[in-house]
Structure formats: structure tokens, C-alpha cells
């Protein structure tokens, strides 16, 4: 079933969903099951699986020189989606990125997904590779997420890259895109970013999942501003608990978001690691309850392999 159909069927009830990362290359599928098994009792209708482009690493050779090599550290998104659907009987939403894909690679990936009966995708651009400094698209690939959305929409109409395919199978993908309550870091301002988000919806995207945020006001403002410019699709808040001291710096650095003062103080003043984790969990529970009370269509938790914490939050909220 499509993600948006779940929202329609829920008739205003707030659903729950989870996002998992493929294990590092050499790891096993069991790591994903270990994360999800304790969470399935909350009955998520769908689970997202992230996609990771190849990264550059520098390898020291015997000559003493360093060689720049590309490696995909977290492969397996599509296989994980299939395994999740098989084990739990829920829908899986693979993330599909522009980076590293030519348009033809994308077309072939969509064909694979369609054959696997996966009919939801989250269409995103992907981040810059380490050492690239800025996002560099694959030659013959897409530069922005909107171009990816357009390609999926074309396939939904049965239009493939090669015009000599007549009566091509019409896929039926439901398309999610990313949204940024605190703006995407490359955008000159929030309004500019909102209009780019609107363009993705106008191009055919069906719903938005937000970047994580720790201040609900940012989400409520974002939804209000989206509605004001005519974005009328469901906007799913993305949530992650902050449970470690180092995350006070790493989360703003990596995700380009602010942390509210009260959260920072609560984490800093906790007497030990356990109390810190608890403070982060309490914060996320409070956020979740408020979002639910205010009619968010779904709470989407970034698990990052930490099912214990997410479980405690889900237990308190659902
Ligand atoms: P876009 O929508 O293309 O926007 C990127 C930037 O370009 C924005 O600043 C936008 O305002 C600007 N822009 C867009 N269109 C135009 C235009 N026509 N002209 C000028 N500027 C424009 N990354 C991964 O690698 N794998 C994942 O699985 C993954 N999952 C994610 C899930 C969610 C819910 C979110 C919020 C992010 C995820 N990311 C993931 C990170 C994402 O790839 C980065 O945030 C990336 O930098 C932007 O992706 P986007 O789809 O928002 O890009």
C-alpha cells in the first residue's frame, strides 16, 4: 500500500514509522532485525531504509603514496527493504538518491523496486561526498531531488528514457521528499527553500518527511508556511532523541539545526550518562505527545540502530 493511503486510512490518527540504516559492509541483516523486532509491536505501517552513496577514502600504498578510492560503506538498501517486507509484512520505503546514479541507473533501480512490489520511495538528492566539498551529480544523473521526482512521475505514466519503448509498464510509486523546518543549509533563506520544496510537490511528490528538529515550534511554523504557499500534502515530522553529550555538537554540525536552550541545559546538568539519556528521552516524549496532540499524520523516528531508546519513547506515546 502507498504511504499516503495509510494516512488516509488512519483518518486523523497519528501513525508511527521508523527509519533504519543499512549495516556497514560486512555486517549482517540480523542487525536490522535486532533494531526492528522490539519496535514492531507499535505496528508501523511502513519502514524507511536509507541509501548511502559511495564515499572517498584515502588508502596508504606500500610506496608510501595515498590512493583515493571510492567505497560504498552501507550497501544493501533494496535487499533490506525486501527482507523487511518478507519478515514483518509491512511496507518498506527505500530512499532513492541522485548522487552516484545516472538517469538510466535510476530507471533500472525503479524497475527492480517495482518488480519487488515496492511502490513507495523517498526521493532525495543526497549529500556531498567527503572530500568533494559540494554535491557533485553523477555524469548523466540528476542535480536536484526535483529531477528525480520528475523521472519517477514519468515512469508512473509509462514513459521510459528511451522513446522506442511503447506501452511501457506504468509504475505506481508514491513519492516522498525531504523538507527542512530550519531550512536546508545550502539555501540562502527559508523562503527560498520552501519554494524549492513546493516545486517538488508541484512536480508530483505526495508527502514530505522533515529533517529532525528539537523545537516543535519550528515544525508548526514550517507547516504553517507550507500551507500558506499552497503545499497541501501530509508533512511527517522526523524525530530523533538526543541522548549523548557529544551530540550537543555533532547534531547541529551534521544536520544544520539548532538545539533549544532548555534541552542543552537538561543534558548538560544531568549527573551521569544514564541521566543524560533519560533527559533526551523525556524531551522526545514531550515533543512526540505535543505533535500527536496537534494532529501530525505520523511520527517518524530515526532509529540509528538504537531500538531501546526509541522503544521507551514509543511506549510512552502510543
Ligand atoms: P533538494 O531538494 O535537491 O535540495 C537541495 C538544495 O538545493 C536545497 O538547498 C534546495 O533549496 C536547493 N534547490 C533545490 N532545487 C533547486 C533549484 N532548482 N535551483 C537552485 N537550488 C535548488 N541523504 C542520503 O544520502 N541518504 C538518505 O537516505 C537520506 N535520507 C534523508 C531523509 C530525510 C527525511 C531527510 C530530511 C534527509 C535525508 N538525506 C539523506 C539527506 C539529504 O540527502 C540532504 O539533506 C541533501 O543535502 C538534500 O537533499 P534534498 O532531497 O532535500 O535536496
Give residue-wise pLDDT tens across range 257-311: 999 999 999 999 999 999 999 999 999 999 999 999 999 999 999 999 899 999 9
Domain tally for the chain?
1
Domain that holds residue 53: 3-317
Ligand 1 lined by 240 (C-beta under 6 Å): no
Q: Which residue's C-alpha comes closest to atom 25 of ligand 1?
A: 126
Residue 124 CA to ligand 1 center (angstroms) comes to: 5
Relative to beta strand 55-60, strand 46-49 is unpaired
Q: pLDDT value at position 138?
A: 95
Task: Fill in the DSSP letter of residue 137.
Answer: P
Full DSSP string of 243-286: -STTHHHHHHHHH-----HHHHHHHHH-SSHHHHHHHHHHHHHH
Ligand 1 lined by 211 (C-beta under 6 Å): yes
Full-model pTM: 0.97
User: Scanning the structure block, which residue is given the C-alpha cell 543549509?
Assistant: 185
The whole-angstrom separation of Cα 243 and Cα 283 is: 10
Ligand 1 atom with the shortest distance to the CA of 49: 28
Residue 270: give its domain's CATH number.
Answer: 3.20.20.220
Q: Which residue's C-alpha comes closest to atom 30 of ligand 1?
A: 50
Give residue-wise pLDDT tens across range 209-234: 999 999 999 999 999 999 999 999 99
Residue 69 has pLDDT above 90, yes or no: no
- In this prediction, residue 71 has a pLDDT band, given cuts at 50, 70 and 90, of confident
The pick from 17, 77, 125, 197 for probing ligand 1's pocket by mutation, whose C-beta has the most ligand atoms within 8 angstroms, reads 125
Ligand 1 lined by 255 (C-beta under 6 Å): no
Phi first, then psi: give them for residue 175, nearest 5 degrees: -115, 120
Residue 163 has pLDDT above 90, yes or no: no
pLDDT, average across residues 127-131? 87
Ligand 1 atom with the shortest distance to the CA of 187: 9
Amino acid at each position: 500500500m502507498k504511504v499516503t493511503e495509510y494516512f488516509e486510512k488512519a483518518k486523523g490518527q497519528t501513525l508511527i514509522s521508523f527509519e533504519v540504516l543499512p549495516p556497514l559492509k560486512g555486517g549482517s541483516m540480523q542487525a536490522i532485525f535486532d533494531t526492528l523486532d522490539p519496535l514492531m509491536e507499535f505496528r508501523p505501517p511502513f519502514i524507511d531504509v536509507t541509501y548511502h552513496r559511495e564515499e572517498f577514502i584515502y588508502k596508504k600504498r606500500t610506496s608510501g603514496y595515498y590512493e583515493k578510492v571510492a567505497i560504498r560503506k552501507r550497501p544493501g538498501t533494496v535487499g533490506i527493504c525486501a527482507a523487511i517486507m518478507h519478515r514483518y509484512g509491512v511496507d518498506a520505503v527505500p530512499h532513492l538518491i541522485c548522487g552516484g546514479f545516472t538517469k538510466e541507473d535510476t530507471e533500472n533501480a525503479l524497475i527492480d523496486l517495482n518488480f519487488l512490489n515496492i511502490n513507495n520511495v523517498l526521493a532525495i538528492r543526497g549529500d556531498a561526498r567527503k572530500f568533494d566539498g559540494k554535491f557533485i551529480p553523477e555524469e548523466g544523473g540528476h542535480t536536484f531531488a526535483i529531477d528525480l521526482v520528475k523521472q519517477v512521475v514519468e515512469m508512473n505514466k509509462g514513459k521510459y528514457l528511451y522513446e522506442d519503448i511503447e506501452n511501457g509498464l506504468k509504475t505506481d510509486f508514491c513519492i516522498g521528499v525531504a523538507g527542512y523546518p530550519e531550512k536546508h543549509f545550502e539555501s540562502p533563506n527559508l523562503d527560498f527553500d520552501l519554494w524549492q520544496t513546493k516545486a517538488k510537490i508541484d512536480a508530483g511528490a505526495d508527502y514530505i518527511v522533515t529533517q529532525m528538529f528539537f523545537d516543535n515550534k519550528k515544525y508548526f511554523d514550517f507547516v504553517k508556511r507550507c500551507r500558506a504557499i499552497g503545499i497541501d500534502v501530509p508533512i511527517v515530522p522526523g524525530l530523533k532523541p538526543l541522548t549523548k553529550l557529544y551530540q550537543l555538537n555533532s547534531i547541529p554540525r551534521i544536520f544544520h539545526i539548532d538545539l533549544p536552550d532548555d534541552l542543552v541545559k537538561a543534558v548538560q546538568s544531568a549527573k551521569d550518562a544514564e541521566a543524560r539519556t533519560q533527559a533526551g528521552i523525556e524531551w522526545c516524549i514531550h515533543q512526540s505527545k505535543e505533535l500527536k496532540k496537534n494532529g501530525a499524520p505520523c511520527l517518524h523516528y530515526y532509529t540509528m540502530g538504537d531500538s531501546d531508546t526509541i522503544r521507551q519513547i514509543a511506549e510512552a506515546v502510543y
